[in-house]
Amino acid sequence: RADGLTWRLGASILQAPVLAGRVGGTGPYKWDGQDPTLHDSLRHTMERLGGDPSTVTKAEFDAMVAYIESLPAPKAKSPADPQAVARGRKVFEAEACNACHAGDKLVDGNQHSLDTTMAQVDTPSLVALSHSRPFYHDGSAENLTTLISDRGTIHEMADVSKLDDNQRRDLVAYLESL
């Protein structure tokens, strides 16, 4: 589960992402995609928080990585309307959301321009999305309806402003089912 916190890192405000079920095999890591491996990400996080990674053995880093990768994703909410979920999946595919959110982890391993203080943002996994409030890289959307309704064309993402209210509700139902 997400802690719901956002952090100021330099000029950027970033949401703390859910790790469980979403991290293994989704490199590069961090919102800016600057860490090629989970080992690198752990090492840099330790440094940023004032720790000394040289005091941690390779075996200990391996154990931390294995633990994080073993965490199962939280269960998605049971959909109230399975037909809305099915329609939402069609909207997701028709709007080409799956061009970036693909595969079993729903990521593409690439960074994209979101016109933020960061030059590029790593594509986040959508696995267990309903457990990762707040939404968007900076935590600026309290819920998925807000994310979809307030963003219009989300930079390099689909133009969701053209969706009608029913399509938006169906898309939210699908996203919450992941």
Whichever domain contains 62, its CATH number is 1.10.760
Residue 97 lies in a domain: yes
Residue 1 lies in a domain: no
Q: In this predicted structure, what is the pLDDT of residue 61? A: 95
> Are residues 127 and 178 in contact, defined by beta-carbon separation less than 8 angstroms?
yes
Distance set, CA 85 to CA 29, 55, 119, 128 (Å): 29, 48, 34, 15
The contacts of residue 8 (CB under 8 Å, 6+ apart) are: none
The contacts of residue 13 (CB under 8 Å, 6+ apart) are: 6, 7, 138, 139
Helices vs strands, H then E, count in the chain:
5, 4
DSSP secondary structure, 56-84, as one string = S-HHHHHHHHHHHHHPPPPPPPPPS-HHH
The domain total for the chain is 1
The closest alpha carbon to 17, from 53, 48, 52, 41, belongs to 41
State the DSSP code for 109.
S
Residue 96 lies in a domain: yes
**Is 165 exposed, middle or buried (CB count within 10 Å of its CB: 0-12, 13-18, 19+)?**
exposed
Residue 99 lies in a domain: yes
Domain enclosing residue 67, as ranges: 6-177
What is the reported pTM? 0.76
Instruction: Tokens for 3, please give them.
Output: 């802690």
Q: In this predicted structure, what is the pLDDT of residue 100? A: 85
Report helix, strand or coil for 39.
helix
Q: In this predicted structure, what is the pLDDT of residue 39? A: 93
Residue 80 lies in a domain: yes
Residue 171 lies in a domain: yes
List, for the chain, all residue ranges whose pLDDT scores fall below the cut of 70: 1-14, 114-119, 150-157
Amino acid 48 reads R
Residue 92 lies in a domain: yes
Q: In this predicted structure, what is the pLDDT of residue 89? A: 96
Q: In this predicted structure, what is the pLDDT of residue 18? A: 74
Q: In this predicted structure, what is the pLDDT of residue 70? A: 93
